[in-house]
Amino acid sequence: MTDDLSHRLVELERELADVRAQLEEISAPEPVSSRRNLLRVATAAAVGAAGAGITSRSAAAAPGGPAILGQHNVADAVTSFENNAAFTNISGPGPIVMQLSSPGGHLQFVGAPGDTVLGTYPTGTLAYNASSGLELWQINGTSPGTSPTLLARPGTAGALTLLLEPIRVYDSRPGAEPDLPNDGRIDTGQVRTIGLLDSGAEGFLENIDGVMMNLTVTDTLGYGFLTVFSAGISVTPNVSSINWFDNGMTVANHVVSAVDLALLKVACGGGGSTHFIIDVIGVYG
């Protein structure tokens, strides 16, 4: 295809977009029988016949023309919005440049093929990278790299919600809290599944991805450790979340763990046994 033909295709697409906008105006106040509207219809037919044989792309709005709602709009240049309204309320937010409103409230970012490397973007750009996820560019740089802040990607835990106050969801000591599961001491070799919702605690739902907690061991015997991990894992990870080394100790530690349907597991190792308590501080997801 020659350059002249390519240029002509672009011109025809813009002319078609103009004609569509004019046809929409026809359906309003003026009767179709008016001379001006008849000329518009004739022009639309002529341009449509000329362009139908050589273009199959979606309509592209002409520069300065309106975007067509409910249709796929194609542009050959960057589309930008600028709001020059007076900033009258210095104590409130500035003028809103663009507002999206729909019953579902959805805004979708779709990456094109080959988007694993997006290139360099100016500060303030919100970009979708098919390899890493949604990025906010704080400073100029090349993606993937250290410059963008990663907002979300598949497999991430989501936003952290700090609870208004910590919630005790588990206490192994019998009678410590009548409404909590009281399963007694945990011994070396045991793995206990904890339902974060079993206590009836409010403030988070089943679909959380992770939990931030205080884990406390108390009335310890011997020495040992506890490992906290997601209930979706069958094999206990070779790590410790909290340790003790003598009888009668009370030790607390800050722990963050993935969960599966608001379930986590606690495993005991090292030779000893202990009571333990879980206080949730925040949840992810």
Of the candidates 221, 238, 227, the residue with the CA atom closest to the CA atom of residue 272: 221
Same domain, 56 and 166: no
Same domain, 43 and 147: no
Q: Is residue 218 part of a domain?
A: yes
Q: Is residue 93 part of a domain?
A: no
Residue where a domain stops, chosen among 42, 75, 108? 75
The H or E element that residue 39 is part of is helix 35-52
22: containing domain: 1-75
d(CA 19, CA 40): 8
The token pair that represents 239 in the structure block? 């790590």
Q: Is residue 123 part of a domain?
A: yes
Same domain, 188 and 255: yes
* pLDDT of 134: 72
Q: Is residue 5 part of a domain?
A: yes
Same domain, 175 and 141: no
Same domain, 124 and 192: no
Same domain, 183 and 257: yes
Q: E strands within 13-52?
A: none
Do the Cβ atoms of 282 and 164 come closer than 8 Å? no
Residue where a domain stops, chosen among 152, 177, 208? 152
* pLDDT of 182: 82
pLDDT tens over the chain, length 285 residues: 566 666 667 677 777 777 777 766 665 554 444 444 444 444 444 444 444 444 444 444 555 667 777 777 777 777 777 767 666 666 666 666 677 777 766 777 666 554 545 556 666 677 776 666 777 666 554 544 555 666 666 666 677 888 888 999 999 998 887 677 888 999 999 999 999 888 777 767 777 889 999 999 999 999 999 999 999 999 999 999 999 999 999 999 999 999 998 899 999 999 999 999 999 999 987
Same domain, 184 and 227: yes
Count of domains observed in the chain: 3
CB atoms within 10 A of CB 43: 15
Question: What is the DSSP track for 73-112?
Answer: ---SS------------TTS----S-----SS------PP
φ and ψ of 198, to 5 deg: -65, -25
Same domain, 138 and 201: no
d(CA 53, CA 95): 45
Q: Is residue 111 part of a domain?
A: no
Q: Is residue 92 part of a domain?
A: no
Same domain, 197 and 262: yes
Residue where a domain stops, chosen among 129, 152, 175? 152
* pLDDT of 39: 46
Residues contacting 213, CB < 8 A, separation 6+: 228, 254, 255, 256, 257, 278, 279, 280, 281
Q: Is residue 112 part of a domain?
A: no
* pLDDT of 255: 97
Check which CATH number belongs to the domain holding 234 and give it.
2.60.120
Same domain, 68 and 127: no
Same domain, 175 and 202: yes
* pLDDT of 228: 98
| β-strand partners of 150 | 135
CB atoms within 10 A of CB 172: 23
d(CA 100, CA 65): 19
Q: Is residue 106 part of a domain?
A: no
CB atoms within 10 A of CB 4: 8
